[in-house]
A and B are shown apart, each in its own frame.
Chain A
């Protein structure tokens, strides 16, 4: 089946630093990737939609200057948390929608990245 990877799987950083999280579709091309955030014992909240070759679309309340998203290729999207603070500590999950599936709802999720900001 289709596989999505995330790197790193977990990261600990100091307050004020920036952290980059990668999301890769390993065996398919993805024109669209989604980034979610999940706090402990809560549901997934969509942060932004990442489209290859264009600017990301952010959900209401998500700061685009703080959460920088780049989708430079059909297999890679990155999320950079800039000037991270303890309240940014969370589980970040990406999903990827295969190219050529505009009529389908299929998307595949990555394993998530645990970010802890000290």
Chain B
């Protein structure tokens, strides 16, 4: 169920820095993980995904790392830009859940010019 009263973790960086956003997932049976970006008042936007048979995947300016041993996921954003400021969520699912996603807590990323 939902957690009442939680405040999202925050990360503040300078423009041009690299950002690392972390996520701990709970279900060891999860086999697919996604990072989403959500801007204020909008729906989540897909960034990058990774399957459990991989430990790293790279996209344009973004890299996702998966450590199944400690159930940890991270998103690295290179050369962070002000337009990257948003809330970032990780989500997990597994092949037997018919596409149902479980979202992580989220991190607020603020990029200062």
Contacts and interface: CB of A to CB of B under 8 A. Distances in A.
Interface residues of A, number: 28
A105 B42 contact: no
A107 interface: yes
Interface string A42-66: 1111100100000000001100000
B16 to A, nearest CB: 27
Interface residues of B, number: 28
Interface string B46-88: 1001000000000000000000000000000000000000000
Contacts, number: 66
Nearest to A46: B100
Given A105-B32, A105-B49, A111 B98 contact: no
Interface string B1-35: 11110111000000000000000000000001010
Most-contacted residue by chain B among A4, A36, A44, A107 (CB, 10 A)? A44
Contacts of A4: 43
B103 A44 contact: yes
> Which among A4, A43, A108 has the highest number of chain B CB atoms within 10 Å?
A43
A34 B6 contact: no
Given A44-B103, A49-B98, A105-B93, A112 B1 contact: no
B41 A107 contact: no
Interface string A10-35: 00000000000000000000001010
